[in-house]
């Protein structure tokens, strides 16, 4: 029954890679054919892009090496169109891939299109290549005692500001955020984070948004202009328009609307995972993170494996359990949480938190390696009572 069933996975980020490898293990000896599509042949550790920006060398992981032994076919190229009625994906260069089941794992990237000048004058952490160019620029700016602005007070912006400040002590680093950085943390964890940024010499400018990015400055909405010899943009994310262009039901941000088992509500042959999926649970919609993304990939691989065998499937359940933040190479803070990501009293700081965060950042690659042979679970919490309630 499963012989020749064609599964195409779009995107080889954290979730797409895990989906493909786990699917290969869960459908072995069934005749299922799995194809993974990605524009680059390199697996990008998005959790470590701020380290590259700070000038650190990271290992180069080839997608074909990670897939070795799985039987998954790799097609290098960018998906340019989906025909959900014909169940066909077009890849640049003219390649056409037919599918019986599609896993949509194209993820997200930093959105530089909402503020004038950001696309032209700001760096992002969207790829190792761009992060490497930022690293070279920061070395130049630091030698002259210049200033770098990090726009966006989310976890990416905080980790990048801390990493850059630690790597370049002579550099003036300013973190600009429209809200208080890490406002979702508890008071004590947030206070620790602020003290750590202060020790590193990071200047906080909060409660104001950036109105314009210039070649050598940023203009704030309150009229101030701050010098900026290099600008890193981490504020806001966007997803590809591929799904919406194909007529697949999406929300106003372009995320695929999913049902209780993470299938498209309009095209149930399509499963969406990670940042590409609008996943709603009783406590609210999942926010894009590796913490929730890998469980969606695990669940989807298991779900597809059961569906192609004609078995029943239970709804997806997931609960958050932590918010880990690195503060350079020698400090970190971990805020533990309830299932809905609201903070609890427990936290971890200092050297223990550094070890914890490093374990979290490195765990996907370890998971991929072992998932070729055994079913490794990335779901620490299924949310308890919070996810047994029906979605509003």
Rounded percentage of the chain residues whose pLDDT exceeds 70? 99
Q: Mean pLDDT across the chain, nearest whole number?
A: 95
Task: For residue range 284-333, list pLDDT tens digits in order.
Answer: 999 988 999 999 999 999 999 999 999 999 999 999 999 999 999 999 99
Strand partners, 81: 90
pLDDT of residue 392: 60
CA–CA distances in Å: residue 380 to residues 186, 296, 301, 387: 21, 12, 17, 14
Asked if residue 386 has pLDDT above 90, the reply is no
Mean pLDDT of 29-50: 96
Task: For residue range 225-259, list pLDDT tens digits in order.
Answer: 999 999 999 999 999 999 999 999 999 999 999 99
Distance of alpha carbon 255 from alpha carbon 286, whole angstroms: 11
pLDDT of residue 2: 60
Q: How many residues does the chain have?
A: 392
Distance of alpha carbon 40 from alpha carbon 38, whole angstroms: 6
Q: Tell me the two tokens of residue 258.
A: 């999913």
Please give the angle made by the CA atoms of 303, 307 and 312, to the nearest 5 degrees: 85
Asked if residue 23 has pLDDT above 50, the reply is yes
Task: For residue range 364-376, list pLDDT tens digits in order.
Answer: 999 999 999 999 9
pLDDT of residue 29: 87
pLDDT of residue 1: 46
Task: For residue range 106-160, list pLDDT tens digits in order.
Answer: 999 999 999 999 999 999 999 999 999 999 999 999 999 999 999 999 999 999 9
pLDDT of residue 288: 82
User: Which domains are seen in the chain, by residue range?
Assistant: 6-108+239-317 (3.50.50.60), 112-233 (3.50.50.60)
């Amino acid at each position: 029954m499963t012989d020749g069933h064609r599964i195409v996975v779009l995107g080889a980020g954290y979730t797409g890679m895990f989906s493909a490898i786990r699917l290969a293990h869960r459908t072995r000896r069934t005749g299922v054919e799995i194809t993974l599509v990605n524009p680059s042949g390199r697996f990008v550790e998005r959790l470590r892009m701020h380290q590259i920006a700070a000038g650190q060398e990271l290992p180069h992981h080839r997608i074909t090496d990670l897939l070795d032994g799985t039987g998954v076919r790799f097609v290098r190229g960018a998906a340019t169109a989906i025909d959900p009625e014909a169940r066909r994906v077009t890849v640049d260069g003219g390649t056409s891939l037919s599918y019986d089941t599609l896993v949509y794992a194209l993820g997200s990237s930093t959105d530089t299109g909402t503020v004038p000048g950001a696309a032209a004058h700001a760096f992002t952490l969207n790829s190792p290549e761009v992060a490497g160019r930022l690293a070279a620029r920061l070395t130049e700016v630091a030698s002259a005692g210049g200033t770098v602005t990090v726009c966006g007070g989310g976890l990416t912006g905080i980790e990048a500001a801390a990493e850059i400040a630690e790597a370049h002590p002579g550099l003036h680093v300013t973190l600009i955020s429209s809200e208080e950085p890490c406002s979702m943390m508890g008071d004590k964890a947030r206070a620790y984070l602020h003290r750590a940024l202060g020790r590193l010499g990071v200047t906080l400018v909060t409660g104001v948004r950036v109105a314009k990015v210039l070649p050598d400055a940023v203009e704030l909405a309150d009229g101030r202009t701050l010098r900026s010899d290099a600008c890193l943009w981490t504020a806001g994310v966007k997803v590809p328009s591929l799904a919406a262009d194909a007529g697949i039901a999406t929300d106003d941000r372009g995320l695929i609307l999913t049902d209780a088992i993470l299938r498209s509500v309009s095209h149930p042959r399509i499963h969406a995972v990670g940042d590409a999926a609008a996943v709603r649970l009783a406590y609210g919609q999942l926010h894009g993170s590796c913490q929730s993304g890998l469980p969606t990939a695990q669940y989807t691989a298991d779900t597809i494996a059961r569906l192609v065998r004609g078995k029943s499937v239970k709804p997806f359940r997931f609960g958050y359990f932590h918010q880990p933040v690195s503060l350079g190479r020698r400090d970190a803070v971990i805020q533990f949480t309830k299932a809905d990501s609201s903070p609890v009293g427990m936290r971890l700081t200092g050297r223990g938190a550094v070890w914890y965060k490093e374990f979290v950042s490195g765990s996907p690659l370890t998971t991929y390696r072992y998932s070729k042979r055994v079913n490794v679970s990335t779901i620490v919490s299924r949310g308890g009572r919070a996810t047994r309630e029906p979605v509003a």
